[in-house]
Amino acid sequence: RHNDSNLLSLGARFLSKELALRAVDLWLRTSFDGGRHERRLKKIKDMEEQA
């Protein structure tokens, strides 16, 4: 929601299959808020382009 991520990491030892599936479903349905968070993403993109 805040960082427009395309990676989700879940701990198999700590989550049941049902809870993991709920977390994935929520993650997939959550859209990027944009707004003030876009500035931080631009900083990251600029650093990636300089590397």
Whether 46 and 30 have beta carbons less than 8 Å apart is answered as no
- What's the structural domain count of the chain? 1
Q: Rounded to two decimals, what is the model's pTM?
A: 0.60
Known catalytic residues are: 2
DSSP annotation string for 6-20 = ------TTTS-HHHH
The alpha carbon dihedral of 31, 27, 6, 1 has a sign of: positive
CA atoms of 43 and 3, how far apart (whole Å): 12
Q: What is the pLDDT of residue 7?
A: 80
Instruction: State the residue range of the domain holding 13.
Output: 1-51
In the predicted model, is pLDDT for residue 12 greater than 80? yes
User: Please, which pLDDT band fits residue 36 given cuts at 50, 70 and 90?
Assistant: confident
